[in-house]
């Protein structure tokens, strides 16, 4: 038996890189257009990013503060992807659907707590 292969696979080299960049841009655009939480977190990033550059005493501190902000966006994108996939399968109330969505929400919350912890440790020593 052969391994199932996606018909969307097979591009290589620069074509693959260009396609991937387009898909990534489409994903960011969709998240910004359809996800209120993502827009709020982008606003948080826009406000805090200059502060991270200004308040960090060195490259390591700045990198930690900025990375913690980027992590929130990454986790939110993954949470939104899980929610979209689950909603595509079924909109009915089901304990497993609730669990998946709650776990995604918990991951976002933990990433936000991470921002608070990193920034507190960096700024308060």
Residues recognised as catalytic: 76
Helices (H), the chain: 13-34, 36-55, 59-89, 95-124
CA-CA distance, 116 to 68, in Å (whole number)?
A: 9
Residue 36 CA to residue 66 CA, distance in Å, equals 21
Angstrom distance (rounded) from CA 74 to CA 110: 12
């Amino acid at each position: 038996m052969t391994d199932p292969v996606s018909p969307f696979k097979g591009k290589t080299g620069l074509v693959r890189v260009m396609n991937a960049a387009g898909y990534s841009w489409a994903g960011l655009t969709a998240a910004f257009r359809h996800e209120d939480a993502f827009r709020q977190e982008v606003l948080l990033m826009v406000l805090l990013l200059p502060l991270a550059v200004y308040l960090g005493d060195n490259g390591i501190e700045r990198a930690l503060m900025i990375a913690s902000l980027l992590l929130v966006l990454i986790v939110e994108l993954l949470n939104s992807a899980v929610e979209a996939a689950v909603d595509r399968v079924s909109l009915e109330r089901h304990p497993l659907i609730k669990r998946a969505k709650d776990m995604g929400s918990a991951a976002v919350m933990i990433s936000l707590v991470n921002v608070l912890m990193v920034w507190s440790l960096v700024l308060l020593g």
